[in-house]
Structure 1
Amino acid sequence: MSAFSAIGDEREVAQDEFTPSIEPQPTWCPGCGDYGVLKALKGAMAELGKNPEEILLATGIGCSGKLNSYFDSYGFHTIHGRSLPVARAAKLANDGLEVIAAGGDGDGYGIGGNHFIHTARENHDMTYIVFNNEVFGLTKGQTSPTSPKGHKSKTQPNGNAKTPIRPLSMSLTAGASYVARTAAVNPNQAKEIIKEAIQHDGFSHVDFLTQCPTWNKDAKQYVPYIDIQDSEEYDFDVHDRRAAQDAMHETEDALYEGKVLTGRYFVDDERPSYQQEKRQRGELPEQPLAERYFEDGEWERSYDFIDRHA
């Protein structure tokens, strides 16, 4: 079975199919929130009936970068902050692939921040999961873009002097059409949010709170948490951009005050994805380029299938 014949093959998929035989047991630290991401992703893909052969998982550098070693699908372990451009290229070459990009808060909001903004702006049809533990974990606890002000680390021994970024607000402002936050301590919500993100046509951003018990004692376990969809106190229309912006602002303030809010914040089902826009303009072929090369082996240039400029 090729990656192309597997796409669209509807069947029941067991969660265990996403556990690789070479490295089945993750080696993250005990209590790490990354286990929660892996479990939620496996559960979501199984319930959606996705085959491992029709999924591409692109990861960055960091503890989160090991995700595609522990998740059996096509994978690409990119360099620091570059999971999104690789994911975008793969989706353009083969629109039938379910493309997931993943990285940490340093990888995604720091080093790869520019890619994040423009991938959201262009609304590429993919899901981006950011493991947000408010610290650089793999390199032993340096301050990250989401570390709270005053947080002490090897790079800020007297306390972080910088105000942390607002990832949800930044995502909305940049143009993401699905924005949510979940946490490793809320596995059922995490699975459902990842399912929704994958099903959404457009750029889905999931800020996933993942506790780091080794290098970030301040964040603890991100509990207790409040699901905003289950609370009357936070009742708002997720399709209303202004209401979503207000809810995000409150959520981002609350996290550093010890109050963890999670849930869906913004959903735009009407905006076409980048791939849809390109196809409507005749700038993206109906048949995936990757499939063309796979079938006949004859490489084509863009000017062979796109009309030249007048």
Structure 2
Amino acid sequence: MSAFSAIGSGEQDEEIDRDAFTPGIEPQPTWCPGCGDFGVLKALKGAMPEVGRSPDETLLVTGIGCSGKLSSYFDSYGMHSIHGRSLPVARAAKLANPDLEVIAAGGDGDGYGIGGNHFMHTARENHDMTYIVFNNEIFGLTKGQTSPTSPKGHKSKTQPHGSAKDPVRPLSMSLSAGASYIARTAAVNPRQATEIITEAIEHDGFAHIDFLTQCPTWNKDAKQYVPYTDVQQSEDYDFDVTDRREAAEIMHETEDKLHEGEVLTGRFYVDENRHSYGQEKRSTGEMPEEPLAERYFDEDYEWERSYDLLDAHR
């Protein structure tokens, strides 16, 4: 085990439980009563023991918004980034230390709006991390403005006459961009949420979870996202999660039905055969096999400069 405990983590045999991810001096959550964000925190804490990772082996990067507070209530390495920028921070950490379990989290405005470009390219490059998007269909922290996932006609302080725009389709957008694990769950389904987060973390590649989090304070239209239907448990939905075309069809139907009053949740697409970005870079020799982060603890390491590593343009 090196000076940085998240490197060489495979040597650790201690049993991890969910309480290990609760801060010693637990801060009082400032989420509103009934907020779906509590469901994300509970599911994430429940998933970590199943994954077998300790707080010292985990990094949680959050954006701005109500969802950004997640890193304050979850005991691990953490970074509260700026609006829409959790993914590039998480990507850099994972590339520098592949042994670190990296989880990024943000709201629908943070992830699908302000950080939409990072979402698209992180999925396209298939970085090995989990991205949980708290989708409550509004900007919650700034008091309920219309967000990218707000349904057409939704009235808010920024759209008093109703939004004239169709909402983004996060599942379809994720698939077309190139994510290799795509799922949707909801705070009202804690068992499924824990299972999906566990699978996403164990997946080798970019795992995107669209997590429906009700906002009873600022988005009363969305209510509690119930009743919900698990597409893996229902006889009405039979599709192959490894088939992109079938996944695209069920995603489109799922995104239509959400605004018609029916909530479909579950796994929608899984590709276990595609290499992650880090694996691709190491296979071509553009990244070293040993973690770059290890070099910070090696006093004898002779640092290279980029101009020593790259051939001059001819």
Q: Give the TM-score taking structure 2 as reference length.
A: 0.95
Q: Say whether residues 1:152 and 2:155 are aligned partners.
A: yes
Instruction: Give the SS at the match of 2:266.
Output: strand
Flag as ranges the 4+ runs of structure 1 deviating above 6 A. Answer: none
Match of 2:276 in 1: 273
Q: Distance in 2 between matches of 1:142 and 1:180?
A: 26
Describe the SS at the equivalent of 1:3: coil
- Which residue of the partner structure matches residue 167 of structure 1? 170
Does 2:186 correspond to 1:183?
A: yes
- Name the structure 1 match of 2:245: 242
Shift of 1:12: 1.3
Which residue number in structure 1 is paired with residue 231 of structure 2? 228
Q: How does 1:9-158 map to 2 (within 5 A)?
A: 9-158=12-161
Which amino acid counterpart does residue 179 of structure 2 have in structure 1?
A
**Distance in 2 between the 1:63 and 1:299 partners?**
43
Q: Give the AA of the match of 1:198.
A: I
Given that 1:11 and 1:49 are in contact with CA atoms closer than 8 Å, whether structure 2 keeps it comes out as no
Deviations 1:163-215 (A, max 9, x none): 00000000000000000000000000000000000011100000000000000
1:174 partner letter: A
Q: Distance in 2 between matches of 1:272 and 1:31?
A: 40
Cα distance in structure 1, aligned partners of 2:307 and 2:191: 48
Q: Unmatched 5+ residue regions in structure 1?
A: none
Shift of 1:26: 1.7
CA distance in 2, matches of 1:15, 1:151: 38
Q: Partner letter of residue 14 of structure 1?
A: D
Which residue type is aligned with residue 199 of structure 1? E
Q: Letter of the 2:250 partner, please give it.
A: A
Q: How far did 1:307 drift?
A: 5.9
| In 2: Cα distance, 1:200 partner to 1:188 partner | 19
Shift of 1:2: 3.6
- 2:291 alignment partner in structure 1: 288
**In the aligned structure 1, how far is the partner of 2:253 from the partner of 2:278?**
33
What is the alpha-carbon distance in structure 2 between the residues aligned to residue 4 and residue 214 of structure 1?
A: 39
Please state how far the C-alpha of 1:4 moved relative to its aligned partner: 3.5
Distance 1:281 1:6, change over 3 A: closer
How many equivalent residue pairs?
310
* Pairing partner for 1:195 from 191, 198, 220: 198
Which residue number in structure 1 is paired with residue 219 of structure 2? 216
TM-score (norm 1): 0.96
- Contact 2:184–2:265 (CA<8 Å) still a contact in 1? yes
1:308 Cα deviation (Å)? 3.6
Unaligned runs of 5+ in 2: none
* Pairwise CA distance, 1:24: 3.7
Could you tell me which amino acid in structure 1 is paired with residue 194 of structure 2? K
Shift, 1:286, TM fit: 1.0
Given that residues 62 and 103 in structure 1 are in contact (C-alpha distance below 8 angstroms), is that contact kept between their aligned partners in structure 2? yes
Q: Which amino acid aligns with 2:36?
A: G
Answer whether contact 1:78 1:86 (CA < 8 A) is retained.
Answer: yes
- CA–CA distance in structure 2, aligned partners of residues 223 and 76 of structure 1: 33
Aligned-pair identity (%): 74
Structure 2 distance, partners of 1:123, 1:182, is 21
Greater mean deviation of Cα atoms: 21-30 or 131-140 = 21-30
8 A contact 2:8–2:99 mirrored in 1: no
- Distance, in Å, in 1 between the alignment partners of 2:28 and 2:254 is 34
Deviation of 1:160 (Å)? 1.0
1:7 counterpart residue number: 9
Matches of 1:83 and 1:162 in 2, distance apart?
26
Moved more, 14-23 or 29-38: 14-23
